[in-house]
Structure 1
Amino acid sequence: MSSSPLKWAARAACRMPMPLIKRLAGPARTVDGQQLDPLVQFMVRYFADPPGTLDSVEKTRSGFDTQGDWLTHAPEPSVHAERWVAQGPAGAVNCDIYRPASLPRRDAPVLVFFHGGGHVAGSLVSHRDVCRQLAHEGQCAVVAVDYRLAPEHRFPVGINDCLAAFDAVVEQAWQLGFDPARIGVGGDSAGGNAAAVVAQQRRGAPCPPRLQMLWVPWVDMSQQSRSYELFAEGYFLEKAKMEWYTDLYLRGPQDALDSRASPLLGDVQGVCPAVLWMAGFDPLRDEGMAYAAKLRAAGVPVHAKVFEGLVHPFLNVAGAVPAARAAFAEATTFLRAVL
């Protein structure tokens, strides 16, 4: 079946009566005191890859791009998109800028957004609707960054792209219509990793990030937390897939100890305020919680929350899954309040 029929089948399934969804999803799953959301359980059962699946790099990337908008919000027509290019150490870094029609043309707040995908997949296409909706509901501009991916470009090439894109937004803020004092960084999974790294690396800059918003962040490549074992298989993102991403991204084991790869190991003193959103059924849950605890211990203002019934990629399903939609609404409320 092609991706388009599957997309409409997934959307139609989300509109089924809840008693039917629960019956088709099977017995309720409870792990570590958390119960998986019935609709999420249904989607994992019928629309996720079979447990243990490891695709090629090419198929993984294609999957991110074709499935990225299956359960997102409907594209908001009042948000304008334009291509913009930053320059980095490895050359041009393509970016898309999303602007709500109601946004001021000068001194506007902006979120520099880094997509997820394990530093191997994801693109401006896979997170296009997510960024558009973040701009619309967050009432800010969103600069989506198309950083270079592994294994063609291993660590730290992609992170250097992310740093360069943030620096370029700051340097060109006035030309772009942004307020350089109201620039946040954010991203999901590997993008949350990148946002945390940028927040650490640019804390002492003349215009440091104002906020770091981290969805299901991957912040430690040096070890596996308990949640890796609890949710090793069968909850969309799997332990084996994380190991595959790590092997493709890092040049060798020593890179995992670099704070630009594992921001949980870095110095967080003086970084910008942080908002962290974790999923309950996610191998990365515990390291996200550990990062929030480390930030708090350093005196950084932190808001952290675990959405217990959700799995890893909930940012991309917020248009159709009510529990994910509620999480998305909380995030955009913070964007409006802090940026």
Structure 2
Amino acid sequence: MTLDPQVVRMMELLAKSKLPPLETLQPPAARKALTVRHLRARQAVGKLIPPEPVHAVEDLVIPVYGGEIQIRLYRPEGTGRMPALVFFHGGGFVLGSLQSHDDICRALANFTPCAVISVEYRLAPEYKFPTPLMDAYAAAEWVFANADDLQLDAQRIAVGGDSAGGNLATGVCRLAQERGGFRPCFQLLLYPATHLADETSSKRQFAKGYQLDDTLLHYFHQHYVHTEDEFQNPMVSPLLHAESDLAQLPPAHVLTAECDPLRDEGEAYARKLQRAGVPCTLTRYDGMIHGFLAMGAFLDRAEEGLREVAEVLRTNAFQRSV
């Protein structure tokens, strides 16, 4: 295991931000600190670049159970009904926003090309499980219900996300399977959190010094659930689903990073999908850390990864037979 030199340099820059560890802060302060940390690091490498242009970007407010949330629709150039990815951002269910994953969504919209709908689900601990999951489900349901008005091809709408967002994407697929109202054509799981209580080899090996420390994971997980008993709920820890419950899920792609505490559980989930008969591909990025796709200001392999993901969507999720 060798960290990519650009990862080493990035972590050195982040260490110089002199901000307190996120897990020592209350969630509202942690959200602000994360933004400041990455802004300072970008300034240090001279990469305060404007967002990648997308043909059309629109913010919308949609109804969910017990309230409203914001979504952002990215639409590349093109006419007619296009395929779409409903995307749930990462951040341990506690951090993250439309803005934190704006770069990823713009890149996927342009590289694939497809529409991307980014979902600002309500965060823990203000809104614990199952609210983030139900917000994600309601957003996907809304996109399917409004596909005609949005000029989307309802037969080619995928769901996906990174880290905690990948966890939510698995839950949306299971709920859609159980309720029968809509069916995503594909699930895109980027270094997903699939078992919130499991102790794996990668969690032990990368417990300290790889951005997603064990103390930060604990902070996220404790904020998400009401009691630790909920860690055993398959809607919280999807790796606990019986294979028979996974058998009818949409095809999937799982992407993992070698130096990521969540690597083993993500790869275990991919293997479980495969054993259940679900078409599932798996890619591991050597030398990378958790969240690397959002680190394009520092890492050349972030763009490489996003282009690979776009190719997976284009060929495995959105390609129509002629």
Q: Deviations over 1:149-177 (max 9, x none)?
A: 01111110111100000000011111111
Asked whether the equivalents of residues 110 and 178 of structure 1 are also in contact (C-alpha less than 8 Å), the reply is yes
The 5-angstrom pairing of residues 12-27 of structure 1 reads none
Moved more, 320-329 or 229-238: 320-329
1:326 to 301, 304, 318: 304
- State the superposition RMSD in angstroms: 2.0
SS across alignment from 1:203: helix
Q: 2:254 touches 2:282 (CA, 8 Å); kept in 1? A: yes
Letter in 1 for 2:280: V
Q: In structure 2, how many angstroms separate the alpha carbons of the residues matched to 1:68 and 1:130? A: 15
Gaps of 5+ in 1: 1-33
Equivalent of residue 157 in structure 1, options 131, 138, 153: 131
Given that 1:76 and 1:132 are in contact with CA atoms closer than 8 Å, whether structure 2 keeps it comes out as yes
Contact 1:97 1:142 in 2 (8 A): yes
Moved more, 68-77 or 154-163: 68-77
1-structure distance, mates of 2:33, 2:20: 16
In percent, how many aligned pairs have the same letter?
Answer: 37
- Per the TM alignment, residue 285 of structure 1 is displaced from its structure 2 partner at its CA by 0.5
- Give the whole-Å Cα distance in 2 for the aligned partners of 1:63 and 1:52: 8
Match of 1:261 among 228, 236, 240: 236
Distance (whole Å) between structure 2 residues aligned to residue 79 and residue 151 of structure 1: 36
Secondary structure of the residue aligned to 1:186 is: strand
TM-score relative to the length of structure 2: 0.89
- Asked if 1 retains the 8 angstrom alpha-carbon contact of 2:7 and 2:298, the reply is no
**Structure 2 counterpart of 1:23:** none
Partner of 1:84: 60
Give the secondary-structure state (helix, strand or coil) at the position aligned to 2:246: coil
Residue from 269, 275, 283 that aligns with 1:291: 269
Matched, 1:129 2:97: no
Please state if 1:109 is matched with 2:87: no
Partners of 1:93 and 1:51 lie apart in 2 by 30
Q: What amino acid does structure 1 have at the position aligned with 2:63?
A: Q
Aligned residues: 304
Residue 121 of structure 2 corresponds to 147
Measured against aligned partners, the alpha-carbon deviations of 1:311-339 in whole angstroms (never above 9, x if no partner) come to 00111113541222211110011122222
Alpha-carbon deviations, 1:287-329, whole Å to 9, x = none? 0010001000001111111112100011111354122221111
Whole-angstrom distance in 1 between the partners of 2:126 and 2:133: 14
Q: CA 1:188–1:50 in 2, change beyond 3 Å: closer, same or farther?
A: farther
Separation in 2 of the partners of 1:65 and 1:227?
27
CA contact (8 A) 1:79 1:132 kept: no
Gaps of 5+ in 2: none
Shifted more, 204-213 versus 110-119: the winner is 204-213
Cα distance 1:181–1:206, how it changes in 2: closer, same or farther (>3 A)? farther
Asked if the contact 1:73/1:133 (under 8 Å) is kept, the reply is no
TM-score (norm 1): 0.85
Distance 1:47 1:109 in 2: 37
Tell me the distance in 1 between the aligned counterparts of 2:247 and 2:120: 29
> Aligned to 1:60, what secondary structure does the other structure show?
helix
Alpha-carbon spacing, 1:144–1:72, altered in 2? closer, same or farther (3 Å)? farther
Q: Compute the displacement of 1:66 (Å).
A: 4.4
